[in-house]
Structure 1
Amino acid sequence: MRETDSVAAYYLRVMTHALQSRPARLAALLTEVGIDPALLEQPRARVPGSAFAALWLMQIRELHDEFFQLDSHGLPPGAFALICRGLIQEPNLEKALRQCLNNFGLFLRDLRASLSVRGKRAVISLQSQGADPLRAHYAEETLLVLVISLLCWLGGRRIPIDRAEFRHARLSLDDDALLWGGNLSWNAGRTEIEFASRLLRLPVVQDLASLKVFLRSAPQWLVIRFRNQHGLTTQVHQRLRGSHYSQWPTLEAFASELQMSPSTLRRRLEREGGSYQEIKDEVRRNVAVDLLRRSSASIGEIAELTGFQEPSAFHRAFKKWIGESPGRYRARFSPVGPG
């Protein structure tokens, strides 16, 4: 945990939705943890991670619910720890994820999550019900953040998301891509996320000893860890996105830019749940997705911009990443774009 850890103020709205009808109490809680209540109206502003974590714990005590009353039943205090204890007994991430979704389903009444594996793709789908669309919107996002963050912790690494779709609309945030990947759609009519099914074969690397340490700061710091805008992973993302693929530095060169040793860079990235090569692959995929969705560049040009010598190699890689060809993917977003 570093002083630079932060999250978007948007998540204050999510966490405090149940107190919107009690503005005086809400303002008092925010002030107590050092957050200006005016930030509720500035969703893109940044909130210090320490204040966010303190508010998270305070909200649980205030509402007697670890899910912030975003569900008609919710999570009673202690439920999150109980769920985690069951997961570390599983041999791999697939069994742990299925158990995780089942365990949340034992408590939450308005949300149902399911995992389907379709060849090389794994998809988590959510179904929600309830009279308050905004609460359902917040509940879906919160549950998926918790599930994916837990999956990252269990596997000891970031799990790159290849596709994320949410049924509701919301504003875009600077750190959305870090959590949800570049292939992100709001107001999509359904809520599901997709990633490579091979990741489900990874072993669960946590045990009872690491769980005890983890629960001292989870889930409030777990969530921050995997969407921290100021972490080293984000610095690597920004450095790579800001230059042409041919100019991407080696790990050794990037470590030199940061005035640290290559071993320190590797170790710090591992602590944030990833590796330099994994981030390079993720950025390469996100650049391709972004260009297909938002530019008029030809597929051949996009192949060159993302480091492929032949368009055919780009086609094969993109289909492996996303599950469909570049042309078919582009047609869903910009049907008039060149092929």
Structure 2
Amino acid sequence: MEQRKSSTHYVCILLRHAQSIGLDVQHILEETGISTELAETEDGWIDNVLLARLVKRMWLDTNNETFGLDPNPLRIGTWALACEFMLGADTLGALYRKGERILSFLAPNSAGLKILRENGSIVVLPQVYLGESDPDHFLIEFITVLWHRFASWAIDERIPLQKAFFSYPEPNHSNFYEELFSCDVRFEQSACGFKFHESYLKRRITRTPIELEAWLRDSPADLLYMPGREKSIQAQLKASLLEITKAEVARDAMRYPAFESLCSDLAMSPQVVRRRLADEGTSYQHIKDAIRCETAQVLLANPENSISDIAVRTGFSEPAAFSRAFKKWTGESPAQYRSSRLKKR
């Protein structure tokens, strides 16, 4: 598996800040497993797992999702709540609009989001603190990347950027900006943000609440790194099935169309789609099972939904068949899964 790395520049920034606000830097290094040598190297590389540990450690020690770099604190859990709200959107355009809306309520004046249209492009303008408390502009880099990565993750497709721009002078590590954004990067502009083609606003959201839990748990390991990725057959099929699932579950039943019909929508033969799915390490049945499992998990989280009703709504003819399938998928019976999740609340 490819080892994902980010610049140690970010480690140095966070540790300098930790020291400036009186945190025990040595203890942070011991807790995160980051060596002193890496912590003192501005132009090296660090495993993203270690960088994620450092970011989470700083969140914990400052009790602030902006690490205390912004004089106006952002409460822990704000981003997760915003993500949950945004993921309820059907399209990327709706996701960004929901992001504008919820941050206008949750975040301080120094944090937010603005979305503009400009000659066939969408301009994303993160509203982030820029001031003396953050001399290295860590927050604007971090948040700008976050708004691109989360959107790309939500549609399961890398969004190619046309341009990224920042209001401050070109920093010493400006070469890394090209790694982060893979596009033309400009400094000393009138605002900070990025732009991409407006056609991406119509992309369907393919991710589910269960996947969001895992993404939030693992982030920010991959926020400052993103390999190129094109739209996969798996992602296209999943987007279609998720749209169908929402409609079918709302009608208290789940019925998927024939595989051949979905292949026709993709303008491909069933043989080609099966081969492409195999190349991606999956199958149509696996995709269907994953969606049914995630749908069942969401329904089980509401104690008002009976297991019998959930069985029908996820396409099973009887509760016993649903229970066997669910245990195969998760290792727990539906009742055990519900009980364990309710205890965590």
TM-aligned CA deviation for residue 159 of structure 1:
1.1
Q: For 1:9 and 1:104, locate their aligned partners in 2 and report how far apart those are by CA, in whole Å.
A: 30
2:56 is matched with 57
Contiguous gaps of at least 5 residues in structure 2: 230-274, 282-345
Task: Say which is worse superposed, 44-53 or 98-107, in terms of deviation.
Answer: 98-107
Distance 1:102 1:44, change over 3 A: farther
Deviations 1:237-277 (A, max 9, x none): xxxxxxxxxxxxxxxxxxxxxxxxx9599638xxxxxxxxx
**Cα displacement (A) at 1:25:** 1.1
> Is 1:92 equivalent to 2:91 in the alignment?
yes
The 5 A counterparts of 1:114-129 are 114-128=114-128
Matches of 1:192 and 1:161, distance apart in 2 = 11
Give the drift of 1:99: 1.7
Mean Cα deviation higher: 26-35 or 56-65: 26-35
Secondary structure of the corresponding residue to residue 86 of structure 1: helix
Q: Distance in 1 between matches of 2:279 and 2:187?
A: 34
Give the superposition deviation at 1:16: 4.0
Q: Return the offset for 1:21.
A: 1.2
1:183 aligns with 2:196: no
Q: SS in structure 1 opposite 2:164? A: strand
Following superposition, the deviation at residue 3 of structure 1 comes to: 6.7
Instruction: Go from structure 1 to structure 2 and tell me whether the alpha carbon gap of 1:74 and 1:194 turns closer, same or farther (over 3 Å shift).
Output: same
Map of 1:286-325 to 2, 5 A cutoff?
none
**Maintained 8 Å contact 2:70/2:133:** no
Aligned counterpart, 1:110: 110
TM-superposed deviation, 1:120: 1.3
Residue 163 of structure 1: CA displacement? 0.5
Name the residue aligned to 1:204.
205
One-letter identity of the residue aligned with 1:108: P
The aligned amino acid for 2:52 is A
Q: Please report how far the alpha carbon of residue 102 of structure 1 lies from its aligned counterpart in structure 2 after TM superposition.
A: 3.5
Distance 2:185 2:124 in 1: 14
Matched-pair identity in %: 18
Maintained 8 Å contact 2:13/2:136:
no
Distance 1:16 1:264 in 2: 44
Aligned letter for 2:186?
A: S
User: How far apart, in 2, do the equivalents of 1:99 and 1:16 lie?
Assistant: 34
Unaligned runs of 5+ in 1: 234-261, 269-339
Answer yes or no: is the 8 Å Cα contact 1:3–1:48 preserved in 2. no
C-alpha displacement of 1:17: 5.2
CA contact (8 A) 2:48 2:222 kept: no
Deviation at 1:232, TM superposition (A): 7.3
Q: Which residue of 2 aligns with 1:318?
A: none
Q: Tell me what 1:301 maps to.
A: none
1:113 match: secondary structure: strand
**Residues 36 and 173 of structure 1: CA distance in aligned 2, closer, same or farther (over 3 Å):** farther
How many residues are treated as equivalent by the alignment?
A: 234
Measured after TM superposition, the shift of residue 171 of structure 1 is 2.3
Greater relative contact order (Cα < 8 A, sep 6+):
1
Q: Could you say what secondary structure the match of 1:132 adopts?
A: coil
Shift of 1:122: 0.6
| Residues 289-328 of structure 1: CA deviation (Å, up to 9, x unaligned) | xxxxxxxxxxxxxxxxxxxxxxxxxxxxxxxxxxxxxxxx
Question: What does 1:218-237 align with in structure 2 at a 5 Å threshold?
Answer: 219-224=219-224, 227-228=225-226
Query: In structure 2, how many angstroms separate the alpha carbons of the residues matched to 1:187 and 1:40?
Result: 29
1:189-212 per-residue CA deviation (whole Å, 9 max, x = no partner) reads: 531211111111111111222223
Which of structures 1 and 2 has the bigger CA Rg? 2
In the alignment, structure 1 residue 267 sits paired with structure 2 residue 280: yes
Aligned-partner Cα distance in 2 for 1:67–1:115: 22
Q: Matches of 1:32 and 1:208 in 2, distance apart?
A: 30
How far is the alpha carbon of 1:154 from its aligned partner?
A: 0.8
Show the counterpart of 2:155: 155
TM-score of the superposition, structure 2-length normalised?
0.60
Q: Distance in 1 between matches of 2:102 and 2:66?
A: 14
Alpha-carbon separation, structure 1, partners of 2:38 and 2:110: 29
Deviation at 1:126, TM superposition (A): 4.2
- 1:246 maps to none
Displacement of 1:52: 1.2
Aligned to 2:333: none
What is the CA distance between 1:94 and its match in structure 2?
1.0
Cα distance between partner residues in 2 of 1:77 and 1:55 = 16
Is contact 1:165–1:193 with CA below 8 Å preserved after alignment? yes
Query: For 2:143, what is the secondary structure of its paired residue?
Result: helix
The two structures have a TM-score, normalised by structure 1, of 0.61
Residues 1:39 and 2:38 are matched in the alignment: yes
Instruction: Give the deviation of 1:174 after TM superposition.
Output: 5.5
- Mapped to 2, the partners of 1:32 and 1:23 lie a distance apart of 17
Give 3-state SS (helix, strand or coil) of 2:161's partner.
coil
CA distance in 2, matches of 1:81, 1:73: 18
